Amino acid sequence: MPLSEPTTSPRAPASRGSVVISVDAMGGDRGPAAVVAGIAESADKNPDIRFIVHGPRAELERMIARRSGLAARCDIRDAQGVVTMGDKPSQVLRKGEGTSMWSTVESVRNGEATVAVSCGNTGALMALSMLRLRKLPGVNRPAIACLWPSRNPQGFNVMLDVGADIRADAQDLLTYALMGASYARNGLGLARPRVGLLNVGTEEHKGRAELKQAHELIGPAAQVANFDYIGFVEGGDLPSARVDVIVTDGFTGNVALKTGEGTAKLIADFLKDAFGNSVMSKFAALLAMTSLKRLQKRIDPRRVNGGVFLGLNGTVVKSHGSADATGVSAAIKLAFQLAQSGFQDRLAARVAQSLGPEAGGELISKGAS
């Protein structure tokens, strides 16, 4: 297994103004049919996306050929192996070279594509991404950032880390703040994001030692990094309009994410049961159909499907394992938006501004976004 790695961010070659996205067609719960359907949906919506699709060639050729005009926009890379949800990351690192996931990340590493998208095993995808793309200089622990539905005008808040690493010290949390602000600026179009540090209370004396230390580091960094630091936030602020970026460790973030997803599904089930309870309830549901569809769309987790791996020499979007065509299309849309904004180069420039822990994470330049 070759271990020589790039030291700069891979860049996709220009292709008639198109953005090239590398897609893992295998590994999701619904199989390659859902992934190809999501690719087709994205292709219909945006003519500027081209795809490198990874998986068994014969199977993918049949599926793609059924979609009018899709074959001309897809480069199929034969990869017979599949990383399953039950595979351990260590096994994939040792034996995963022939898999669709490995091939997907490799296309970004080689500069053929700008962003990789996969519905597969999160732990394996992060491990492979770290091995093949390597971490950005100055990043100790990469993070997974997700979009959280909120009351803000943009409709979403950014939260990180949501599961890349269960640990995070003060310097890691500072790096997350920098990366999260860059993501909000380039992914959500916020000129000056508001960043909060998740804690058990907003008072400065509360929280673990590393949170208090991170609080002391993030405040001074905010001005030169062009974001507003609002201090500690609580769980109730995750969907609020008080903050745009929520910084936390991967353990806390992942628990919050899974709780939010479960709550959204519970509310949807309760509404369905309530409006189907009687003839009058069904009639009321018919009268409220427009409002109910708007609510369903607002809380539909498929619309915000896609966690972004931050802190690597390349952009990777992790789609939910159970994503259908709509979810896959949403993840591809996010990948396209980040690629178009030049997000990877901007993120690398922002992280490069932070010095080592011995310098207290002080930033030295104002040039990056």
Alpha-carbon dihedral of residues 24, 27, 33, 35, nearest 10 degrees?
Answer: -40
Lowest mean pLDDT, pick from 7-11, 310-314, 346-350: 7-11
Concatenate the DSSP letters of all residues of 266-317 into one string.
Answer: HHHHHHHHHHTSSHHHHHHHHHTHHHHHHHHHHH-GGGG--EEEESBSSEEE
The kind and range of the H/E element at 186 are helix 170-187
State the average pLDDT over residues 258-278.
Answer: 78
**Structure tokens that stand for 68 in this block:** 């009018």
Task: Determine the length of the chain.
Answer: 369
For 42-90, the pLDDT digits (tens) are 999 999 999 999 999 999 999 999 999 999 999 999 999 999 988 899 9
Q: What is the pLDDT of residue 369?
A: 61
Give domain 141-306's CATH architecture: 3-Layer(aba) Sandwich (3.40)
Q: What is the pLDDT of residue 355?
A: 46
What is the gyration radius of the CA atoms in the chain, in angstroms? Answer: 21
Q: Tell how far CA 61 is from the center of its chain.
A: 28
CA distance 199 to 349: 29
Q: CATH homologous superfamily for 14-139+311-344?
A: Isopropylmalate Dehydrogenase (3.40.718.10)
Kindly report, as residue ranges, where domains of CATH 3.40.718.10 are found in the chain: 14-139+311-344, 141-306
Name the β-bridge partners of 317.
117, 308
**Structure tokens that stand for 125 in this block:** 């995808």
Q: What is the pLDDT of residue 269?
A: 79
CA distance 310 to 347: 8
Amino acid at residue number 69: G
Residue (of 125, 94, 109) closest to 9 by Cα position? 109
Ramachandran sector of residue 178 (left: φ over 0; alpha: ψ -120 to 50; beta: rest): alpha
How sure is the predictor about 361, in pLDDT bands with cuts at 50, 70 and 90?
very low
For 126-139, the pLDDT digits (tens) are 999 999 999 988 88
CB 305 within 8 A of CB 330: yes
For 166-194, the pLDDT digits (tens) are 889 999 999 999 999 988 988 788 999 99
How sure is the predictor about 287, in pLDDT bands with cuts at 50, 70 and 90?
low
CB atoms within 10 A of CB 258: 12
CB 240 within 8 A of CB 150: yes
CA distance 24 to 105: 9
